[in-house]
Amino acid sequence: MHCKGINIIRMELIRETTYQAASKVAAIIETHFFKHLAIAKRKWGRRPGCAPDAGIVEKMIDVAFWASLRKEEGNSTKISLAFLKPSQAGKPLLFEKRLPLSSKVLSKLAPRRGACGVHVGVWHEEGELYIWGTTIKLPNYCFVLDVSEPALLVVKQRRIIGLGKFTNVASAAGRPGKNSG
């Protein structure tokens, strides 16, 4: 799929979500990003970034939640994920090979992430989400999912105008349920 204008990127994902909050908030977050991208397009005539559909949002939140509960080298997973193509990231650091978006991979990357302001780039192809590298530059209204501490996730968007770099869209502080994996 190609990202044009304010289109929401839609893809069919195998639904293996086990963190139930992810499925409950995904459609609301999709609507929020679509609305803001449409407003930006009308108001400023800019071609904003791409918005993930509810399936992508759900999968990213699910994977990030389970990653937040993992430790690597004694450290909790703290990581920032951004949904964008490498070409939207300015001068990204591209990995030699794509990495699968999984809690295990995120926990391995997190201790090596380094300074604040570095985002792990996530994109999709052929129905699969993957990690392509890292970036410090994000397009306006870019979907960002921040894993702040175990079981604390914050969905953010990069601002076009205003104070600060990001606006918080939603946050979830939770724990796995009895039947969750």
Sequence letter at residue 41? K
CB contact at 8 A, 110 and 67: yes
Give how far the C-alpha of residue 104 lies from the chain's centroid of Cα atoms, to the nearest Å.
16
Per-residue pLDDT of 100-143, as tens digits, reads 999 999 999 886 555 578 999 999 998 899 999 999 988 888 89
Report the Cα–Cα distance between both ends of the chain, in Å, rounded.
Answer: 31
pTM of the predicted structure, to 2 decimals = 0.81
How far apart CA 94 and CA 170 sit, in angstroms, is 29
Pairing of strands 119-125, 79-83: parallel
DSSP for residue 163: S
The ranges assigned to domains in the chain are 18-173
Backbone angles phi, psi at 29, to 5 degrees: -70, -40
The pLDDT of residue 83: 95
Which of 35-44, 48-57, 170-179 tops mean pLDDT? 48-57
Q: Is 40 helix (H, G, I), strand (E, B) or coil?
A: helix
Q: Where are the alpha helices (DSSP H) in the chain?
A: 20-44, 54-68, 103-109
CA distance 36 to 147: 23
Tell me how far CA of residue 27 lies from CA of 32, 45, 57, 76, 100, in angstroms: 9, 26, 8, 28, 23
Least Cα distance to 89 among 34, 33, 132 occurs for 132
Tokens standing for 102? 């999984």
Q: How confident is the model at residue 7 (pLDDT cuts 50, 70, 90)?
A: very low
- Select, from the ranges 43-52, 107-116, 120-129, 155-164, the one with the highest average predicted confidence (pLDDT): 120-129
